Structure 1
Amino acid sequence: MTAPASSLSAHGDRHFDGLADKFAASLYGGVRGELRLALLDQLLPEMLELHGQPLLDVGGGLGQLAGWFAERGHAVTLAEPSGEMLARAGEFLAGQEVRLIQAPLQALPEQAPGPWSLIACHAVLEWLGDPRTALATLAGLLAPGGQLSLMVFNRDALRFSNVVKGNLEKALADRLEGRGERLRLTPISPLTHAQVEAWSAECGLAVRGVAGIRIFNDYLRQPPQSDADREALLALERRYCRVDPHWRLGRYLLYTLVRPATSPETRPPLPDTDKESQA
């Protein structure tokens, strides 16, 4: 299926109708997808306190993350704005008790208000026109003491990758964002660790843990050529994914953010969203 010339929503977000096959191949195909899933399988139990609590999976895409939590006894609500992606998620999750709702992140305070003790939002903010306000919206959905598992596309890693590929002028000019056009899957809002730290503090969220996903793989001159090489690469990724400075160049950064145990009536205000405040 051919994607439209622009896939941006009224909010300026990138949705994936017409791109499900390419999305699946790019994010989950080959070694990159294997590493991502294997590392999440290790890191989620390490970084989250899990005891079967209900989960809101924001921008749940093809359903892999929702399935992981559902298999471990969580009652999962998966929210996804793309009808095509949601249909694919429904096929993947057939037989599992997962509630599916078609809704963008901005509509969740009305369609899935919670408050939630556990929210997952993986590889979503980088596709939004206003990720700062989106994080504040997620914070407002959390119950006191609730946990947000947040994964974002790392802008610093994108810059480093461009240098490795020889795109020196592009890196020097900091022209790293995608434009959300045609079949390209470069995120429109890649984020830095400093932004996540600052915006989390604005929302009253504490950073309890951080890890890098694919800290070595994306800089290899060639992909692993044998099963032994793949196992060695996975071992390296696992060993150093939470070790400073290595985690800082992960293609994705995985966070556990926690809302302090305060009154559930008190929700963090949305920040000023003018362009200067997002710098």
Structure 2
Amino acid sequence: MTDSTPLSPAGDRHFDGLAEKFAGSLYGGPRGALRLAMLDELLPAMLELDGQPVLDVGGGLGQLSAWFARRSHAVTLLEPAGDMLEQARQALGGWSVTFLQAPLQALPEHAPGPWSLIACHAVLEWLRDPRAAFATLADGLAPGGQLSLMVFNRDALRMSNVVKGNLQKALDDRLEGTGKRQRLTPISPLCHDQIVDWSREHGLSIRAVAGIRIFHDYLRQPPANEDDWQRLVALERRYCQTEPHWRLGRYLLYTLVKESEHPSRENSR
């Protein structure tokens, strides 16, 4: 299956035909291994988990759904790419997981909730209008509900370009990908201030934030052996929530809580 039409009619980057690429070069390599290792440590610390149902939006191959399912959560996995969803179905067939083929924007029709826990990891940066998608996620939360949100960090992308010598690109702030090539550069990389502003707009509070891969992506050489890998993981764990290091994580991981209906939204009804 080829990736001939990577953009949806709405201009979002979907990943039909790329399940093997994700399974191999991403999750089969050190970047994916480190991301999953950090989530394994951070999610129990950043979320209040009591076996509640979870909606995994843009769940891809199902790694995050598997993490929750192993901890006795009933999971609903929403994913637009058919081959991704099929691989997730095969991998998670023995768990309490419901599979829905739909994009994030269709959440109100397919899985309206309200949900006490929504996970949306590495999705918003692939959408043409991430702000509207954020609003959809916020609307799907129950009062007191938690949103585990992970986004691709624009500031880290800028730093990475500087390290690589792409100085003019960084000066011009030309950081977005086109979404039309095999190289997976997000079309809407996000910064922390955007998440702060959007959370305020929709009555969400930021309970916790962490950086994922705050050192790994700036190494001149990958770890040469297992001992170096363990030292790197130890560094990532020690500083992932420490100023200023978390701000340069390749991904930013948030726990956002919907304390109550936003007053402005109530007044507009």
Classify the TM-score, shorter chain.
over 0.9
Check if 1:209 corresponds to 2:208.
Answer: yes
Q: Partner of 1:143: helix, strand, or coil?
A: strand
Over 3 Å counting, the alpha-carbon distance change for 1:145 and 1:229 in structure 2 is same
Residue-by-residue CA offset, 1:181-219 (whole Å, 9 max, x unaligned) = 131210000000001110111111111110000000000
Equivalent residue letter for 2:212: I
User: Could you tell me how far 1:267 is from its partner in structure 2?
Assistant: 7.3
Equivalent residue letter for 2:118: I
Using the size of structure 1 for normalisation, the TM-score is 0.92
Check if 1:132 corresponds to 2:101.
Answer: no
Unaligned stretches of 5+ residues in structure 1 = 270-279
Check if 1:117 corresponds to 2:116.
Answer: yes
**Distance of 1:196 and 1:29 partners within structure 2:** 30
Is the Cα–Cα contact under 8 Å of residues 208 and 255 in structure 1 kept in the other structure? yes
Over 3 Å counting, the alpha-carbon distance change for 1:209 and 1:178 in structure 2 is same
Is the Cα–Cα contact under 8 Å of residues 14 and 127 in structure 1 kept in the other structure? yes
Equivalent residue letter for 2:181: R
Is the Cα–Cα contact under 8 Å of residues 203 and 261 in structure 2 kept in the other structure? no
Aligned to 1:22: 21
**Distance of 1:50 and 1:81 partners within structure 2:** 27
Q: How does 1:210-225 map to 2 (within 5 A)?
A: 210-225=209-224
Aligned to 1:172: 171
Aligned to 1:98: 97
Aligned to 1:63: 62
Aligned to 1:75: 74
Where does structure 1 differ by over 6 angstroms across 4 or more consecutive aligned residues?
266-269
CA RMSD of aligned residues (A): 1.5
Aligned to 1:275: none
Aligned to 2:194: 195
Name whichever of 83-92 and 36-45 sits farther off: 83-92
Aligned to 1:233: 232
Aligned to 1:272: none
Aligned to 2:106: 107
Over 3 Å counting, the alpha-carbon distance change for 1:255 and 1:216 in structure 2 is same
Unaligned stretches of 5+ residues in structure 2 = none
Equivalent residue letter for 1:149: S
Aligned to 1:54: 53
**Distance of 2:23 and 2:177 partners within structure 1:** 18
**Distance of 2:98 and 2:2 partners within structure 1:** 29
Using the size of structure 2 for normalisation, the TM-score is 0.96
User: Could you tell me how far 1:23 is from its partner in structure 2?
Assistant: 2.3
**Distance of 2:266 and 2:140 partners within structure 1:** 8
Equivalent residue letter for 1:41: D
Aligned to 1:144: 143
User: Could you tell me how far 1:173 is from its partner in structure 2?
Assistant: 0.9
Is the Cα–Cα contact under 8 Å of residues 145 and 262 in structure 1 kept in the other structure? no
Q: Partner of 1:181: helix, strand, or coil?
A: coil
User: Could you tell me how far 1:84 is from its partner in structure 2?
Assistant: 1.0
Aligned to 1:243: 242
Count of aligned pairs between the two proteins: 266
Equivalent residue letter for 1:87: E
Q: Partner of 1:34: helix, strand, or coil?
A: helix
Residue-by-residue CA offset, 1:106-153 (whole Å, 9 max, x unaligned) = 111111001000000000000000000000000000000000000000
Is the Cα–Cα contact under 8 Å of residues 73 and 96 in structure 2 kept in the other structure? no
User: Could you tell me how far 1:24 is from its partner in structure 2?
Assistant: 2.5
Identity of aligned residues (%): 71
Over 3 Å counting, the alpha-carbon distance change for 1:11 and 1:69 in structure 2 is same
